[in-house]
Amino acid sequence: MTQHDGAVAPGNHDEAAPLIVVAAAVVEQGKLLVVSKKAAPEVFYLPGGKPDPGEAPAEALVRELDEELGVRPLEPRFLADVEALAALENVPMRMTVFTAGISRIPRPAAELADMRWITGTEPDVRLAPAVRDQVLPLLKRNGLLAA
């Protein structure tokens, strides 16, 4: 995981090119917005997705949040590059995570099955490993979510 200081945490550095993903960590009133996909409705992820060819990460974030939730990211800021195994595809993934506000109340659309606002301690919410093991602790360390 690359953070603001550019440090990279150890991880799976397979020879294959990783799946590239951008995602938003949207925190409001101490809760993180997570979504589930119709392909795996029991697993919750950060909203976002794969950039189109030639699309910059910030552009992909705007497009994906509009497609998935009907919102625009407000003041997106780079948080970290997270390297993990993609929960659904089971391949190496590099996820660029931005913190952002959102322009309106989100409504799941496109391939999404559900969305929830979580503190990260809910026993009934199964989070993707990258969110559970890397993003939540980072948000807590940075004071964006309660520890």
CA distance 66 to 80: 22
This prediction has a pTM of: 0.86
3-state secondary structure of 115: strand
Which pLDDT score, from 0 to 100, does residue 90 have? 85
Burial 107-143 (b: 16+ CB within 10 A, else e): ebeeebeebeebebeeeebebbebbbebbbebbeeee
Which helix (H) or strand (E) segment holds residue 137: the answer is: helix 136-141
**Mean pLDDT (10-residue bins), the chain, 147 residues:** 39 67 96 95 96 96 96 96 89 96 94 94 94 96 88
CA atoms within 13 A on the CB side of 86: 20
DSSP state of 39: T
pLDDT at position 11 is 44
Q: For the chain, first and last CA: distance in Å?
A: 20
- What integer pLDDT is reported at residue 110 of this predicted model? 82
